[in-house]
Amino acid sequence: MLNLILFGPPGSGKGTQSEKLIAKYGLKHLSTGDLLRSEIAQKTPLGLEAKSLMDKGQLVPDAVVIGMISSALETNPEAKGFLFDGFPRTSAQAEALDKLLELKETSIKMMLAMVVTEEELVSRLLKRGETSGRSDDNNEGVIRARIAEYHNKTAAVADYYKKFDKVVTVKGEGTVDEIFGGLCKEIDSTLD
Ligand code: B4P
């Protein structure tokens, strides 16, 4: 199985690049952000709890997202591989993911970490907020809180995978196609 993590701060292009990567490599896309927004749209109790945290720019509890990923892995037994987008976001999530994959006798092949400056992140997210209807995108204070959560809790996830020599950094600024080219080059080099 080809299991990849697409990693980076909010607005680094994870969702954008995921669409292209799953099409090229035939992977199943697992985005915890998308799964949470689907719960919110259906007004489930989990969605209501998540919305109040997401609207403040905070992460939702580990147990909630680990549970969602666990059931998504169970419901896709035929997948050739998974692209994890926006997950894991804490060290506890990373450890849980390793255990879940071990049960399926597989593991993470590589973490692709996209690098983008903070000002570019804020500008992209404010721009998306003009049209997306996402309440976490239309307020600069909330966007900066999300970036702070990334530095406080999520950046350490890259250190976790560095211990296993699984992290490659990729430039996350430029055109969408240029960035996609950089990601594919790294993935293809592990498939040889
Ligand atoms: P996510 O849905 O994961 O969203 P995100 O990090 O904000 O954005 P993403 O990185 O996917 O956006 P993209 O760059 O593609 O998380 C939302 C919230 O859910 C979190 O704050 C948290 O509360 C919660 N959550 C999710 N997962 C969690 C977890 N595991 N644990 C706990 N909580 C969790 O797009 C940004 C914009 O940039 C777009 O408008 C795009 O068009 C634009 N863009 C992309 N590439 C560009 C380029 N090259 N040039 C210019 N613009 C570009």
Q: Which amino acid is at 164?
A: F
Q: How far is the CA of 18 from the centre of ligand 1 (A)?
A: 11
Q: What number of residues does the chain have? A: 192
Query: What's the mean per-residue pLDDT of the chain?
Result: 96
pLDDT of residue 192 exceeding 80, the answer is no
pLDDT of residue 133 exceeding 90, the answer is no
Q: Which of 37, 56, 128, 153 is catalytic?
A: 128
Residue whose CA is at the smallest distance from ligand 1 atom 1: 33
Kindly give, in sequence order, each residue whose CB lies less than 8 Å from that of residue 114, ignoring residues fewer than 6 positions away. Answer: 6, 7, 8, 12, 13, 14, 17, 169, 170, 171, 172, 179
> Mean of the pLDDT values across residues 97-114?
97
56-86 pLDDT, tens digit each: 999 999 999 999 999 999 999 999 999 999 9
Within 10 A of 140 (CB to CB), how many other CB atoms are there? 12
Confidence band of 191 (pLDDT split at 50, 70, 90): confident
Phi/psi for 152 (5° steps) reads -75, -40
Q: How far is the CA of 143 from the centre of ligand 1 (A)?
A: 10
